[in-house]
Structures are given as C-alpha cells and as structure tokens.
Amino acid sequence: MVRIGQSSDIHQLVEGRDLILGGVKIEHTKGLLGHSDADALLHAISEAILGALALGDLGKHFPDTDPKYKGANSLTILSEVYEIMQSKGYKIGNVDSLIMIEKPKMAPHIDQMRNNIAKALHCEEDQISVKATRGEKLGFVGREEGVLAQAIVLLEK
C-alpha cells in the first residue's frame, strides 16, 4: 500500500533570528520567525508525512502553545514524525520538496539539507529531493518578507 501526503509551510523573515532550512543554519541578515526554530522546509515535510497517514497537521502533534517546543530543533520534530510513521508500518518512498526564498541562494546548502533529511527519515539521499526558487521580486517571497516551503511525500507499507 502507498500513501501520498502534501503540505506547505510559511514563516516570516525577521531580523534577530537564525535562518535554518533543512536543518542547516544559513548565514543571512534575517531569519525565520516561529515558536520552534521555524524551519519551514522540515515543517512542510513533517506535515506531509502526517497528512499521508491521515493524522492531522503539525500543530496537532507539536502545538506552538507547548513550551516543550519553544526553540525546538525541527530535525528532532522530523525524527519524531518518522517514529510515528514507522509505528504505522510505513517507510519513505520519496520526498519532493521546494523552498521559495528570494535571498540567500540555497544551492550551496541543498546537499547538506538532503543529507540531514535522509538521516532523520532513515532513508537514502536519492529518495530526498530539495529544490529552491526565487520569487522574482513578486509577492511576499519576492519582497523578502517570508519563506514558503512545499513538500510531497510518498509512503510505502
């Protein structure tokens, strides 16, 4: 049996926060605002897995009202989602994801992101796709106000 899940996550870019995407701390003048480390890419992947399992959204399992998740490393959250997935008898078929961010360039960081995600999900790097695109100065992404990440996952039993 296979299941497909998809999700998107948006976080505002602000000064005074670290920019962490795919578990990689990226040097930039702005970072992502959120209760945890606000890693929009890992949040989208985590929620896509939960969606494929019909288990609701990320906030149901990791509420932003819970002090336990204040400043939490999203790789830890993704690892916990992996445990939920595994307990239901599923494994990753593949992950296809996209980061929409105007600046900085993601290309130098994508290999490390893929490695981090594959480790957290106990799969091979060639099962993890991370792509990035700019907003071309259009919308909130283009104006550098925020980041949008999307993910689609295929789970196999």
Annotated binding site: 9-11, 35-36, 43, 57-59, 62-66, 101-107, 140, 143
Q: Residues at the annotated binding site for a divalent metal cation?
A: 9, 11, 43
Neighbours of 70 (CB within 10 A): 10
C-alpha–C-alpha distance, residues 36 and 50, integer Å:
18
Query: Which tokens in the block code for residue 14?
Result: 């602000």
Which residue type is seen at 58?
A: L
DSSP string, 36-76: S---HHHHHHHHHHHHHTT---HHHHS-TT-GGGTT--HHH
Signed CA dihedral, 53, 47, 129, 120: sign only = negative
